[in-house]
Amino acid sequence: MTFKTMAAIGLLAGALCNSAYARPVSYPGGWTSMISNNGSNNAVHIHYSPTAKYSLGVRSQYNRDKEFWFNGVQVNNLIKRWNKPDLQANFYLKSGAGVTRSNYGDYDGKTAGTFFTGIAFDWEDRRFFTSYENTYFDAGDIDDHYTQSARVGVAPYIGDYGDLHTWMMVQVDHEPEAEHPVTVTPLVRMFKDVHLVEAGLSNRGEVTLNWVIRY
């Protein structure tokens, strides 16, 4: 079994055992586990929100293309929230620092101090959803890159509380330095009670499958 395969299985197992669907900042005193997977990365982020304005946590991320692990701390700040009777929007600043270890080519076994920062924005009502986020990641000689991602979605029906809710979404990822800079992933999101499932297939044949439990 390769290192990349072991990494992917380990992160998936963590997602199935203890995960939650939530925003970068939770309610005061709330704990959140967040699992994210895309064509390049698998990541786990666990954080605690002392107030409704910020959260503190740890992050572990594996980049499958460049074969490196990042482990460190992350701070999420809620810069602005718009609450209306039928919609909500949020603007966040997400930053962190830690250590990256590489297992790739000439950098095999090399470690480097790392920092990252970026913004995130989401807007939704009961019918439509849109979001955008970006990240600048600097791990010295191991890696230095900028990425951005956007989603749009629509609910084909409006469910009541306790119903099965469904969203049809399209996600676009942009990594300027990648061999294929743009990836488009149509996906379906379904959630009911404490469970949320996302499944999709990108234009490059990469499968997205996320199972999330809220607590």
DSSP 1-35: --HHHHHHHHHHHHHHHS-----SS-STTEEEEEE
Note the pLDDT of residue 20: 32
Note the pLDDT of residue 215: 58
**66 has a pLDDT exceeding 60:** yes
Question: In this structure, which amino acid lies at residue 202?
Answer: S
71: left (phi over 0), alpha (psi -120 to 50) or beta: beta
Of 124, 193, 119, the C-alpha closest to 161 is: 193
Mean pLDDT of 149-164: 92
**165 has a pLDDT exceeding 80:** yes
pLDDT in tens, 71-82: 999 999 999 999
Note the pLDDT of residue 95: 97
pTM of the model: 0.82
Question: In this structure, which amino acid lies at residue 213?
Answer: I
pLDDT in tens, 185-207: 999 999 887 677 888 899 988 87
CA pair distance 183, 161, nearest whole angstrom = 34
Task: Count H helices and E strands in the chain, helices first.
Answer: 1, 12
In whole angstroms, how far apart are CA 199 and each of 91, 108, 158, 188?
Answer: 26, 33, 20, 6
**108 has a pLDDT exceeding 90:** no
Note the pLDDT of residue 195: 76
Confidence of residue 212 (pLDDT cuts 50, 70, 90): low
Mean pLDDT of 83-107: 92
**161 has a pLDDT exceeding 70:** yes
Please say whether the beta carbons of 156 and 162 come within 8 A. Answer: no
Structural domains present in the chain: 3-213 (2.40.160)
CA pair distance 87, 107, nearest whole angstrom = 47
Note the pLDDT of residue 188: 95
**17 has a pLDDT exceeding 80:** no
